[in-house]
Structure 1
């Protein structure tokens, strides 16, 4: 019998396919694990409205982790939420915007952007949510609390700019790379790993009973907190170096592989792809 009671999976690049679909084989594996008494949830960089269709499709009935650990919620309420104020980092965001980097601000009331770009159009298509442009002359956006900031662009451009600016900040911030071209700024001391520790305590689950699965650097602390930390085949090299198991398969099929290997759910049906609406 498997000792794994809780499985926590990242979404983009992990549970979802390369074209951001939720495969039938993944849905089936989650169903079989839950039918055996297991607990399944997600830990994602997405915010609530973007993650909700997947939560509903998988019928997740325990809390899940959003915004790279800044939010813990279930389908009825927010359990915890850390927010970010923008006054101090607003000059950095303006400089990044002027350098051609796409800046997205995520709040409870939706997504704002400093300007519309091809990246915002791609993001809107992928997430199915609008990115509302701000008025560049309106300073009010710097006073609005947000859950996170996402910069989309070349990491070789974004990281040096952030490293140069952050040394002068009075406040602390956490920054993580969540995808190849996504750089996220969140409140200090927030991470998927920290949120997972809170979730384990709430559910009464020991680290040895947890399997975490991811593909990017924002998943690193989460896989290190779990008894089994899994990297799917398409993972960042640094995550692979820290994983206790590296899948032969990538994306959702890697998740199914890890579940069948460590959660003792057996081989299931191999259904086709399905869209997340």
Structure 2
């Protein structure tokens, strides 16, 4: 591969930066904090809501804007630079049916995380960073809440995928829907992906996409990886992600991210 000038590293969190348990290995924190001293710009592009990214951003002392909600928001600290909210109104009957059959129905505003019901998945995640308010929207809220992402988790409920997925099919033209096999799916405003989030990040920082290194592992990372100057898949990535990438690391997860950073030429950062 021809060496390219890289000025920004944009990394997915779950399955990429974080270990399989969703944690950042403590022995790697100093490495990522040290990137700033080496004048290497590093940031996060995640499907997570802002609330579930903040602790990692603080631990790594990230000062650059980050992408949340699979491209649905560009933010830094408590400031949101861009957001792509939508109404849940047209999806109400699908979400209520999903909850009725036992799937976990999650919905997020910029600063809040909700679940329609308490499920085994919600109980399992108690005590983690994933804290949800159990809430059934009023009829006005179904229409008026500014939602940045909906997530349906059904791997804990056998047969739920086969019921829910056909119900979502008519909405393909109205929303961006990311499916993760028969385990879960995420719904964003139409046209919103991590690639659009990366473009927003590029525009905000004035760093061209051609000078961004993007690293990921799952299908929602594919467009971002293809769009970046260099797209990298960690070794534990899905096969279709590896096919889309310019390079596949030998190591997995956090160590794969470090491998990619050290492998590709990093120039001094333009953006402070």
Give the TM-score category using the shorter length: 0.7 to 0.9
1:193-252 CA distance string (max 9 Å, x none): 011112112222223321101111111111111111111122122111111111121111
TM-score by length of 1: 0.85
CA contact (8 A) 1:102 1:115 kept: yes
Equivalent position to 1:207, from 203, 206, 209? 209
- Change in 2 beyond 3 A, CA 1:119/1:246: same
- Change in 2 beyond 3 A, CA 1:230/1:23: same
Question: Match of 1:142?
Answer: 142
Question: Match of 2:260?
Answer: 258
CA contact (8 A) 2:177 2:185 kept: yes
1:78-132 CA distance string (max 9 Å, x none): 0011112011011111122222211011123422111101111233443242x22
Equivalent position to 1:232, from 231, 234, 257? 234
- Please state how far the C-alpha of 1:53 moved relative to its aligned partner: 0.7
TM-score by length of 2: 0.87
Trace 1:1-277 onto structure 2 (pairs within 5 A).
3-129=5-131, 131-135=132-136, 138-143=138-143, 144-154=145-155, 157-158=160-161, 161-167=164-170, 169=171, 172-177=174-179, 181-263=183-265
SS in 2 for 1:119: helix
1:158-204 CA distance string (max 9 Å, x none): 3773444442x597100113687331001011111011112112222
1:48-84 CA distance string (max 9 Å, x none): 1111111111111111000000000011410011112
Any stretches of 5+ residues in structure 2 without a counterpart? 268-272
Any stretches of 5+ residues in structure 1 without a counterpart? 266-277
CA distance in structure 2 between the aligned counterparts of 1:214 and 1:159, rounded to whole angstroms:
28
**Backbone CA RMSD of aligned residues:** 2.5
SS in 2 for 1:175: strand
CA distance in structure 1 between the aligned counterparts of 2:252 and 2:109, rounded to whole angstroms:
31
- Change in 2 beyond 3 A, CA 1:205/1:59: same
CA distance in structure 2 between the aligned counterparts of 1:11 and 1:118, rounded to whole angstroms:
24
CA distance in structure 2 between the aligned counterparts of 1:170 and 1:210, rounded to whole angstroms:
30
Moved more, 173-182 or 190-199: 173-182
- Change in 2 beyond 3 A, CA 1:25/1:200: farther
